[in-house]
Amino acid sequence: MNSETSDGAEAGANREPSPAVGDLDLDETIHQPTRLRIMTLLVSVPESDRLAYGFIQQTLGLTGGNQTIHLRKLEAAGFLAITKEFEGAKPRTWVQATTTGRRAYADYLSNLEKALGLHIPR
């Protein structure tokens, strides 16, 4: 169904197109909603802290497979480090935002604020 004005032109035809993610200078790795949620959680703790894989999964309500895919993409970008250790006989996986990841997240927020014309104090 086409929405037309009285002169036959489509409604909104004179509007500027929404800018693409690339036009906004937003990091596409972080911009994906699940990865953005993961990074937000990881940067919310002190730089020296790390979070357990299971804690991230439970907190964000992710499936194991989905979480693993997104963690691998963030790790490949250098935004987080994944370490596997044993506590006794039990394997544990830890995830920590890297300095590069924290900087990329801060840049992402700054660029998003600029794109939206906002200033959010931190």
What's the CATH fold of domain 26-116? Answer: Arc Repressor Mutant, subunit A (1.10.10)
Q: Write the CB contacts of 85 (distance below 8 Å, at least 6 apart in sequence).
A: 91, 92, 94
Residue 83 or residue 4, greater confidence: 83
Return the pLDDT at 94: 98
Tell whether the torsion through CA atoms of 111, 116, 117 and 122 is positive or negative: negative
Q: What is the mean pLDDT of residues 5-20?
A: 48
Residues 45-93: tens digit of each pLDDT: 999 999 999 999 999 999 999 999 999 999 999 999 999 999 999 999 9
Say which amino acid occupies 44.
S
Return the pLDDT at 11: 47
Return the pLDDT at 14: 52
Helix (H) or strand (E) holding 37: helix 33-43
Q: How far is residue 25's CA from residue 86's CA, in Å, rounded to a whole number?
A: 40
pTM: predicted TM-score of the whole model, two decimal places? 0.77
Domain locations along the chain: 26-116
pLDDT band at 4 (very low <50, low <70, confident <90, very high): very low
